[in-house]
């Protein structure tokens, strides 16, 4: 009986520990983008309007301070794998199509959108996986067209809150969310299905 109990406890410990990957605590939705059930690129493009290119990434602007970039999942090019909304350009200038609606209204399921406070983000998702100051490499990766024109004294964000991990119950589902914070407010949001 004791041996059976020890075996049960050992198996339970293995199940709860799993692969050692952290459980993702960030948002799973932003607007129509979803990391649990990836949405079709075609469906998102129908909502946004005709893109300037038929190749990922797809870039949109709503006005002079609203930009959206959506990229396909590498291994599933028919599905959306990354979404970035921001108040600064996040694609080369000539690649932006005009969006038919103001996507700045998109929020996470927990009500976080552009302009939300850092306190709001922390209260909805808890402590991030990491908080770091952005560097020029990060700026170039996420804002390739805008970053070379930046003064070194004005980064894309003063701080980036990163939430990453695997979706609970789905061990091969690495997901990440980044909130670029500027003066205590969300200046940009990136939600990614990492494949």
pLDDT at 1 over 80: no
Q: How far is CA 53 from CA 12, 95, 101, 175, in A?
A: 50, 7, 19, 27
131-140 pLDDT, tens digit each: 887 766 666 6
Neighbours of 163 (CB within 10 A): 22
- Radius of gyration of the chain from Cα atoms? 19
Q: Which of the pair, 154 or 27, is modelled with greater confidence? A: 27
pTM flag (> 0.85): no
Average pLDDT over residues 6-29: 61
46-67 pLDDT, tens digit each: 888 888 888 888 888 888 788 8
Which pLDDT belongs to residue 110?
Answer: 95
How far from chain centre, in Å, is Cα 113? 12
Which pLDDT belongs to residue 169?
Answer: 79
- Token readout for 184 is 């205590």
- Helix residue spans in the chain (DSSP H): 2-17, 41-48, 118-125, 136-142
Residue spans of the domains in the chain: they are 20-193
């Amino acid at each position: 009986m004791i041996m059976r109990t020890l075996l049960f406890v050992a198996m339970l410990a293995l199940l709860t520990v799993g692969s050692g990957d952290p459980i993702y605590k960030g948002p799973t939705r932003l607007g129509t983008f979803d990391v649990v059930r990836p949405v079709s690129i075609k469906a998102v493009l129908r909502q946004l309007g005709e893109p300037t290119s038929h190749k990922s990434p797809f870039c949109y602007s709503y006005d002079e301070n609203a930009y959206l970039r959506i990229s396909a999942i590498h291994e599933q090019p028919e599905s959306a794998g990354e979404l970035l909304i921001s108040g600064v350009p996040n694609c080369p200038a000539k690649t932006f199509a005009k969006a038919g609606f103001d996507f700045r209204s998109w929020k996470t399921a927990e009500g976080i959108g552009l302009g939300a406070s850092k306190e709001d983000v922390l209260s909805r998702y808890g402590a991030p996986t990491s908080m770091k100051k952005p560097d020029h490499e990060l700026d170039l990766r996420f804002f390739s067209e805008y970053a070379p024109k930046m003064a070194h004294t004005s980064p894309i964000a003063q701080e980036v809150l990163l939430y990453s991990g695997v979706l609970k119950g789905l061990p091969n589902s690495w997901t990440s969310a980044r909130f670029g914070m500027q003066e205590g407010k969300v200046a940009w949001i990136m939600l990614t299905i990492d494949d």
